[in-house]
């Protein structure tokens, strides 16, 4: 682990200042039980950064801390130069508007069409007239390949389409950072591969920074520029870097077993 972590720790100051997200010595626990501690990493502009690890290691909890839903027990997160944990009022709302989130299920409102679902952030955070909101929502649905499904309800679409619609809604306000929680969970391999391609295309074409929580190995290798791996037993980070490099040169047995799908 040391060699992989040291490369990031010794990065020049200029690189650190350019980071979109900085996580410093983060710790979290519940009911006196430590979930993770000493978590430190950076996310650079335009990259797809993956948070990975086995079940119960704290991946989704880390994401929720990063978007301001949970307060850590120690450490801090800086996003786009701001601190959600410290911000309040309009300053906090302004920072949150720069973040888009897609939850694991898509979290679409069942009584609304896909177009209406994608319009929701525009209705809540802009003064655009309805015609303009509809135009923006249609454009976002087009970006994720759902132009022909705008009038359909969530119950009328597949799981993969629901994930795409969730991404479209997360992009409604053109946030520079998108957080995706288990985007490939529950999808068949072909649909999952298509979603992976979509994420890579959006990152390349729009310059959007992605933070993706997943334990799906094929997706990690397909989309990840860099990653950080958490481990339940270690109660924190056990590696970070290019996932392909971690697969070829694992720094410890836990990382090797994960990337090579080896049983203990």
Ordered per-residue pLDDT tens for the chain, 264 residues: 343 343 333 333 333 448 999 999 999 998 888 999 999 999 999 999 999 998 889 999 999 999 999 999 999 999 998 888 788 888 888 888 899 999 877 689 999 999 999 999 999 999 999 999 999 999 999 999 999 999 999 999 999 999 999 999 999 999 999 999 999 888 999 999 999 999 999 999 999 999 999 989 999 999 999 999 999 999 999 999 999 999 999 999 999 999 988 766
pTM of the predicted protein model: 0.89
40 in the same domain as 25: yes
130 in the same domain as 88: no
**Distance, CA of 48 to CA of 262 (rounded, Å):** 26
Q: To which H or E segment does residue 180 belong?
A: strand 177-181
| pLDDT (0 to 100) of residue 14 | 36
Q: Which of 152, 174, 196 is the last residue of a domain?
A: 174
137 in the same domain as 27: no
In this structure, are residues 112 and 94 in contact, taking their beta carbons and an 8 Å threshold?
A: no
Q: How far apart are the first and last CA of the chain?
A: 19
133 lies in some domain = yes
| pLDDT (0 to 100) of residue 10 | 38
| pLDDT (0 to 100) of residue 163 | 93
- Give the range of the structural domain holding residue 55, as residue numbers without chain letter: 2-98+175-260
58 lies in some domain = yes
Which neighbouring-strand residues pair with 213?
51, 181
93 in the same domain as 8: yes
**Distance, CA of 140 to CA of 143 (rounded, Å):** 5
233 in the same domain as 216: yes
92 in the same domain as 15: yes
80 in the same domain as 59: yes
| pLDDT (0 to 100) of residue 218 | 92
Q: What are the DSSP calls for 119-150, one per residue?
A: HHHHHHH----HHHHHHHHHHHHHHTT-GGGT
219 in the same domain as 208: yes
Report which of 77, 58, 74, 2 is spatially closest to residue 231, judged by C-alpha positions: 58
187 lies in some domain = yes
Q: How far is CA 261 from CA 84, 217, 258, in A?
A: 37, 9, 5
103 lies in some domain = no
Strands 209-213 and 48-53 turn out to be parallel
| pLDDT (0 to 100) of residue 85 | 79
- List all residues 6 or more positions away from 61 whose beta carbon is below 8 Å from its beta carbon: 28, 35, 36, 70
114 in the same domain as 236: no
254 in the same domain as 207: yes
179 in the same domain as 89: yes
| CATH code: domain of residue 10 | 3.40.50.300
Tell me if residue 221 falls in helix, strand or coil: helix
């Amino acid at each position: 682990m040391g060699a992989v972590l040291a490369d990031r720790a010794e990065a020049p100051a200029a690189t650190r200042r350019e980071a979109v997200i900085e996580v410093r010595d983060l710790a979290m626990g519940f009911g006196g039980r430590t979930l993770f501690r000493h978590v430190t990493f950076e996310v650079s502009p335009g990259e797809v950064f993956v948070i990975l690890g086995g079940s119960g290691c704290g991946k989704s909890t880390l994401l929720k801390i990063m978007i301001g839903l949970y307060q850590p027990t120690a450490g801090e997160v800086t996003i786009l130069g701001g601190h959600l944990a410290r911000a309040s009022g309009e300053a906090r709302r302004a920072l949150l508007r720069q973040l888009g989130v897609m939850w694991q299920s898509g979290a679409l409102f069942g009584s609304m069409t896909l177009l209406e679902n994608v319009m929701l952030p525009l209705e809540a955070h802009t003064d655009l007239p309805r015609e303009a909101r509809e135009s923006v929502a249609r454009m976002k649905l087009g970006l994720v390949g759902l132009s022909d499904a705008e009038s359909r309800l969530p119950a009328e679409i597949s799981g993969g389409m629901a994930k795409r619609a969730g991404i479209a809604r997360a992009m409604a306000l053109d946030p520079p950072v998108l957080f995706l929680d288990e985007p490939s969970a529950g999808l068949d391999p072909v649909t999952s591969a298509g979603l992976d391609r979509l994420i890579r295309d959006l990152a390349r074409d729009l310059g959007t920074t992605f933070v993706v929580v997943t334990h799906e190995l094929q997706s990690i290798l397909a989309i990840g520029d860099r990653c950080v791996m958490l481990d339940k037993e270690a109660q924190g980070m056990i590696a970070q870097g290019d996932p392909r490099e971690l697969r070829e040169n694992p720094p410890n047995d836990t990382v090797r077993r994960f990337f090579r799908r080896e049983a203990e």
